[in-house]
Amino acid sequence: MRIRRLQSGSDVEAVMSFLAHLEAITGVPPLGESKFVDLGGPRRGRGLMVERDQLVAYAHLLWHESSGLWEMELAADAGLTDDATLEATLQAAAAEAAGPMLWWTFDETGGAAFAATRFSPARVLHKLIGPLPPTERAVLPAEVRIRPFRTGVDEDSWLEANNAAFAGHPENGEWDRHDIIERQSRDWFEAEGFRLAWIGDRIAGFCWTKRHTPTLGEIHVIGVHPEFQGRGLGRAIVIESLWYLAGVGCDTGMLYVDTANHSALELYQSLGFGLDRVDRCFEIPKGWPHDPQ
């Protein structure tokens, strides 16, 4: 077995093919959105390829300025990896980070089971699913108008609203024009499904939807500008967006919620959404494995 850094374009192609292979087997994307985008785009992070005659695992590390930590995700072929392979990969990733590191896991077996016996959980996300259309209509304040995102026009206004709504958030905060323009280049991007709620000439809130299949739609990102919170905008924008997804053929909705966000969990549960999967983030302390917890 050897572990080496991702370097060339051919390396990226090999990893993309490997990730597609894993997703075909499990039905679940093996890397989260931010890591996958970084792999195929700017590559601000670092990649580690684990090979044993063939690629058996891939780790992607991405620095988050807001938390001051590296975040890692590990995509592994369960049939070709064991605890020794996982441990060697984590040691290599920890050496790259040279400090505390967060590891996101997306299943109840393999990496998640391995992590749960060694590290403390730092965050937990619930994947929720629910039927569409919702059972109620959106009730918007009279001064609010919702319209789709206009590519080439709304970027700066949206960035101001997004970065205010997600100040300090490790994934959704501190975006710049490169981030939003890169997302617009993705195959799944649909401006019509990027719903903006305006009050006057400012974006008060937004709900960015994403269609995974013709019948499955996601509430990808929902945010309300701090200056406009407390008016019921969040619920109204979510419901409006769920009706949008239903109108384009989706009969099932999905989303991810941090379990610490009790108000959001209550909102989605009230709209008929229930638990589908649990994703866990574990903290790997500085000095591991030589200074274990």
Q: Is the pLDDT of residue 288 over 70?
A: yes
Residues 120 and 137 in one domain: no
Task: Please say whether the beta carbons of 209 and 243 come within 8 A.
Answer: no
Residues 13 and 61 in one domain: yes
The answer to the question of residue 91 being in a domain is yes
The answer to the question of residue 268 being in a domain is no
Residues 194 and 98 in one domain: no
The answer to the question of residue 262 being in a domain is no
The answer to the question of residue 259 being in a domain is no
Dist. CA 192–CA 147, nearest whole Å = 8
Residues 95 and 142 in one domain: no
Residue ranges making up the domain that contains 231: 133-250
pLDDT tens column, 188-245: 899 999 999 999 999 999 999 999 999 999 999 999 999 999 888 999 999 999 999 9
pLDDT tens column, 124-179: 999 999 999 999 999 998 899 999 999 999 999 999 999 999 987 767 778 889 88
The answer to the question of residue 168 being in a domain is yes
User: Band of the pLDDT at 268, cuts 50, 70, 90?
Assistant: very high
Residues 8 and 79 in one domain: yes
Residues 120 and 139 in one domain: no
Looking at residue 226, the DSSP 8-state letter turns out to be G
Q: Residue 89's closest CA among 293, 292, 289?
A: 289
The answer to the question of residue 257 being in a domain is no
Q: What is the CATH number of the domain that holds 165?
A: 3.40.630.30
The answer to the question of residue 93 being in a domain is yes
Residues 229 and 170 in one domain: yes
The answer to the question of residue 139 being in a domain is yes
Residues 98 and 68 in one domain: yes
Structural domains counted in the chain: 2
Contacting residues for 142 by C-beta, under 8 A, at least 6 apart:
none
User: Band of the pLDDT at 110, cuts 50, 70, 90?
Assistant: low
